[in-house]
C-alpha cells in the first residue's frame, strides 16, 4: 500500500467512502435563504494563524511581530489581512463578569489592545475558542457561553473567529415527557393550565399514564429525535407580555433531554432537562416566553436526531450570536459594524459541507493538517470531492497552510499552495513570517517560501470572484488534472503528480471545454500562462507536461 493510501485509511479519508456518503446526502442550495451571510469572505479569506508552527508557545509580542512582518513583506498587499491567534491565548480563568480574557502573563496588555495595534497596520485580528467546555488544549471555551463570548469578541474588535470542536457536548436527542403546560403572568399565582390529554399530537407523540404521578397522571412522550410533536393552538391570552411557561414533567430515565418550544410559529425557546435519579415521578422545568394578546400557538418537540443535527445547531447558534454581537456593539459604540468571519472547525466529523453554509463562512473538511506530503494529499483527496458545497461567502476549508513548515520541498510547497488555490481554500499561512525580513529590516525577496505565497497569479486563481472550486476531470490515481473556471471565461488548469517518480501528464483542452461547468470558448488556439515558470505558450488541443515527483503545473488559459 502506498503512503498516501495508508494515510487515507488511517485518517478515515478514503475518497470512495466520502464519495458514497456524499451521494447519500442531500444536495445543498448555496443561494438558499438560510445561507449564512455577513458580508465577509466573499473570496476565500487570507491571513496567518499561530497554530501550525507555534502551537501553545504564543504571546502578544509574537503576534505583533507577525503582523508587522505581514505588512512589511508585502503579504498584506497580496491580500493577506487576518492575523489569527489560535488556541492558548486565554487565561485559564474567566474574569469576575464571566468573560474570557487573555492569559495574564503572555497577553498582559489584553486582546483589545492587540486588536488595536493590528488594526493600526491595516490588518484584522482573529481569535479562537472551542464549541465545547474547553479548547483542545484544555482552556476555557464557549459552549454555553456563546452570547457572552460573542459580545466580548465584538467589543475587542475581533474580525475572524475559529470555533473548534474539542470537549463538545452534543445536544441530547431525547425529549422530556410533558404532563401540563402552565402559563402565568409574573407576580400572579393563577395561570392557564394546558393538559397533555388536550394537546394535538403528531408523528410518534403518544399519550401515556403513570399512576404514581399527581393529577391525572397523563403525559405525552415520543417528542424525541424529530419523531413527534405536541401542539396547543388557539390559547387565548388577555394581555401581551412576558409569561412564565412551566412544564409539568413525567420524570424518567437517566439520559439528558432537550426540548424546543416554538411560540406563534416564530419564536424558538430551548430548554434542557437532566437525567433523573430522583424519587418523584413529577418534575418541572420553567422558562419565560413572550406572548401576544389574543390567540397563541405552541409547538413542543426535539428536532435533534443525530450528532450532525446537534453540531449544525450549535454552530448556527454561535454564528447568530456573532452577528447579533457585532450589530449590538456597533450600535452601542456608534461605529461601523465589524462583521466577524466565522470559521467552523469540527474536522469534517459531522459532514459540515452539508450544513456549514447555514452556519458560517467556512468549515474544515478533515482532521488536522501536518507538514508532510501524505497529509496534504490526503486532505486534498477528501476536499476535491466536495466542490458542490463551496461558493462565494461559504467555503470548504482543507485547513491552514503548511507552506514553509517541516521538511516540505520547494515542489511540495508550490504544489500545496497551488492545490489550495484551486480548491478555493482559505489561504491562512502557518509559517514564521518574520523569516521574510532580513536582520537589517529589508525584505528577503529571494526567500523561496515568500515567492510562493506572494505569487499574485496563483493568488488570483484562489481569489477569482466567481468562487468556483476546481473539479478533477482526469485521474489515474497518481496524477490528476484539475480545472477551475475563472472570470472572463478563462480557466485555471492544474496538473498534479502525487507520486514519488517523474510522470508525464497530459490534457486535451478540446475535451475539457466539453465539460458542462467549463465556459472557456471553443477556439482554434489557446494562450497558456505557466504560473510557476512565468512563461507563455500556445496550444491547439492536446498538451503533455513532465512533472517532477510531488509537484504541480499551474496554468491560466484563455481562448486566443
In the complex, the residues that contact ligand GLA under the rule CB under 6 A are 51, 86-87, 135-137, 164, 345, 347, 368
Alpha-carbon gap, residue 242 to 293, rounded angstroms: 11
* 220 versus 318: smaller Cβ distance to ligand GLA: 318
Q: Inter-axis angle of helices 111-120 and 60-72, to 10 degrees?
A: 10
List Cα–Cα distances, 443 to 73, 117, 155, 448, in angstroms.
6, 21, 35, 12
Residue 41 CB, shortest distance to ligand GLA, in Å, is 18
Phi, psi of 443 (to 5 degrees): -85, 135
* 164 versus 224: smaller Cβ distance to ligand GLA: 164
Compute the radius of gyration of the chain from its Cα atoms.
27
For residue 443, the cross-strand partners are 437
* 65 versus 368: smaller Cβ distance to ligand GLA: 368
* 135 versus 454: smaller Cβ distance to ligand GLA: 135
Alpha-carbon gap, residue 320 to 315, rounded angstroms: 9
Beta strands, E only, 274-426: 282-291, 294-301, 341-344, 362-364, 395-397
* 51 versus 232: smaller Cβ distance to ligand GLA: 51
SS3 53: helix
Alpha-carbon gap, residue 86 to 106, rounded angstroms: 14
Residue 397 CB, shortest distance to ligand GLA, in Å, is 10
Residue 164 CB, shortest distance to ligand GLA, in Å, is 5
Residue 324 CB, shortest distance to ligand GLA, in Å, is 25
> H/E/C letters for each residue in 345-387?
CCCCCCCHHHHHHHCCCEEECCCCCCCCHHHHHHHHHHHHCCH
Residue 84 CB, shortest distance to ligand GLA, in Å, is 10
* 191 versus 406: smaller Cβ distance to ligand GLA: 406
Alpha-carbon gap, residue 485 to 448, rounded angstroms: 28
Cα atoms in the Cβ-side hemisphere of radius 13 Å centred on 69: 22
Residue 4 CB, shortest distance to ligand GLA, in Å, is 21
Sheet holding 82-84, edge to edge: 395-397, 362-364, 341-344, 160-164, 124-130, 82-84, 46-49, 427-429
* 368 versus 411: smaller Cβ distance to ligand GLA: 368
Residue 346 CB, shortest distance to ligand GLA, in Å, is 9
Residue nearest to ligand GLA (CB): 136
* 142 versus 302: smaller Cβ distance to ligand GLA: 142
* 87 versus 321: smaller Cβ distance to ligand GLA: 87
Residue 30 CB, shortest distance to ligand GLA, in Å, is 25
Residue 449 CB, shortest distance to ligand GLA, in Å, is 20
* 305 C-beta neighbours (distance < 10 Å), count: 13
Which positions ≥6 away from 477 have C-beta within 8 Å?
none
Alpha-carbon gap, residue 349 to 83, rounded angstroms: 26
Phi, psi of 319 (to 5 degrees): -55, -45
* 46 versus 468: smaller Cβ distance to ligand GLA: 46
* 321 versus 397: smaller Cβ distance to ligand GLA: 397
Alpha-carbon gap, residue 178 to 283, rounded angstroms: 10
* 54 versus 298: smaller Cβ distance to ligand GLA: 54
Q: Compute the Cα dihedral for 354, 352, 266, 152 and give only its sign.
A: negative
Residue 86 CB, shortest distance to ligand GLA, in Å, is 5
Length of the chain: 560
Residue 391 CB, shortest distance to ligand GLA, in Å, is 23
SS3 190: coil
* 126 versus 485: smaller Cβ distance to ligand GLA: 126
SS3 524: coil
Candidates 43, 40, 38; CA nearest to 465 is: 43
Is residue 467 left, alpha or beta, with left meaning phi > 0 and alpha meaning psi from -120 to 50? left
* 148 C-beta neighbours (distance < 10 Å), count: 17
Amino acid at each position: 500500500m502506498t503512503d498516501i493510501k495508508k494515510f487515507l485509511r488511517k485518517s478515515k479519508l478514503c475518497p470512495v467512502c466520502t464519495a458514497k456518503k456524499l451521494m447519500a446526502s442531500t444536495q445543498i442550495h448555496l443561494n438558499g435563504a438560510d445561507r449564512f451571510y455577513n458580508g465577509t469572505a466573499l473570496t476565500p479569506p487570507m491571513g496567518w494563524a499561530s497554530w501550525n508552527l507555534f502551537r501553545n508557545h504564543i504571546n502578544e509580542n509574537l503576534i505583533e511581530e507577525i503582523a508587522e512582518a505581514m505588512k512589511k513583506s508585502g503579504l498584506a498587499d497580496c491580500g493577506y489581512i487576518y492575523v489569527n491567534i489560535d488556541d492558548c491565548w486565554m487565561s485559564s480563568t474567566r474574569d469576575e463578569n464571566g468573560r474570557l480574557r487573555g492569559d495574564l502573563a503572555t497577553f498582559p496588555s489584553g486582546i483589545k489592545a492587540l486588536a488595536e495595534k493590528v488594526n493600526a497596520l491595516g490588518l484584522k485580528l482573529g481569535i479562537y475558542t472551542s464549541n465545547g467546555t474547553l479548547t483542545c488544549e484544555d482552556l476555557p471555551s464557549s459552549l454555553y457561553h456563546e452570547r457572552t463570548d460573542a459580545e466580548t469578541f465584538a467589543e475587542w474588535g475581533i474580525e475572524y473567529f475559529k470555533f473548534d470542536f474539542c470537549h463538545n457536548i452534543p445536544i441530547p436527542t431525547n425529549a422530556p415527557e410533558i404532563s401540563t403546560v402552565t402559563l402565568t403572568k409574573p407576580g400572579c399565582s393563577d395561570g392557564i393550565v394546558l393538559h397533555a390529554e388536550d394537546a394535538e399530537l403528531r408523528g410518534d407523540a403518544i399519550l401515556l399514564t403513570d399512576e404514581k404521578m399527581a393529577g391525572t397522571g397523563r403525559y405525552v412522550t415520543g417528542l424525541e429525535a424529530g419523531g413527534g410533536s405536541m401542539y396547543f393552538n388557539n390559547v387565548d391570552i388577555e394581555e401581551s407580555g412576558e409569561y412564565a411557561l412551566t412544564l409539568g414533567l413525567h420524570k424518567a430515565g437517566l439520559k439528558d433531554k432537550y426540548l424546543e418550544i416554538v411560540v406563534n410559529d416564530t419564536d424558538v425557546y430551548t430548554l434542557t432537562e437532566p437525567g433523573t435519579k430522583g424519587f418523584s415521578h413529577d418534575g418541572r422545568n420553567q422558562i419565560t416566553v413572550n406572548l401576544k394578546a389574543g390567540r397563541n400557538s405552541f409547538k413542543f418537540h426535539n428536532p435533534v436526531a443525530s450528532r450532525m443535527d446537534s453540531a449544525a445547531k450549535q454552530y448556527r447558534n454561535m454564528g447568530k450570536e456573532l452577528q447579533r454581537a457585532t450589530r449590538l456593539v456597533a450600535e452601542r459604540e456608534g461605529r461601523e459594524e465589524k462583521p466577524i468571519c466565522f470559521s467552523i472547525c469540527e474536522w469534517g466529523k459531522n459532514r459540515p459541507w452539508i450544513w456549514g453554509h447555514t452556519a458560517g463562512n467556512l468549515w474544515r473538511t478533515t482532521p488536522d493538517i501536518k507538514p508532510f506530503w501524505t497529509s496534504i494529499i490526503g486532505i486534498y483527496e477528501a476536499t476535491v470531492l466536495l466542490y458542490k458545497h463551496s461558493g462565494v461567502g461559504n467555503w470548504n476549508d482543507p485547513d491552514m497552510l503548511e507552506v514553509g513548515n517541516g521538511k516540505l520541498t520547494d515542489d511540495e510547497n508550490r504544489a500545496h499552495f497551488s492545490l489550495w488555490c484551486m480548491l478555493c481554500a482559505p489561504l491562512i499561512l502557518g509559517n514564521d513570517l518574520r523569516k521574510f525580513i532580513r536582520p537589517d529590516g529589508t525584505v528577503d525577496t529571494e526567500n523561496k517560501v515568500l515567492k510562493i505565497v506572494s505569487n499574485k497569479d496563483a493568488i488570483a486563481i484562489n481569489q477569482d470572484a466567481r468562487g468556483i472550486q476546481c473539479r478533477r476531470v482526469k485521474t489515474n490515481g497518481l496524477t490528476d488534472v484539475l480545472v477551475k473556471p475563472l472570470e472572463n471565461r478563462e480557466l485555471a488548469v492544474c496538473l498534479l503528480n502525487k507520486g514519488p517518480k517523474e510522470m508525464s501528464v497530459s490534457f486535451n483542452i478540446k475535451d475539457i471545454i466539453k465539460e458542462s461547468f467549463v465556459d472557456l470558448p471553443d477556439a482554434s488556439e489557446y494562450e497558456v500562462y505557466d504560473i510557476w515558470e512565468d512563461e507563455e505558450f500556445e496550444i491547439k488541443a492536446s498538451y503533455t507536461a513532465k512533472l517532477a515527483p510531488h509537484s504541480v503545473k499551474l496554468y491560466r488559459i484563455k481562448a486566443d
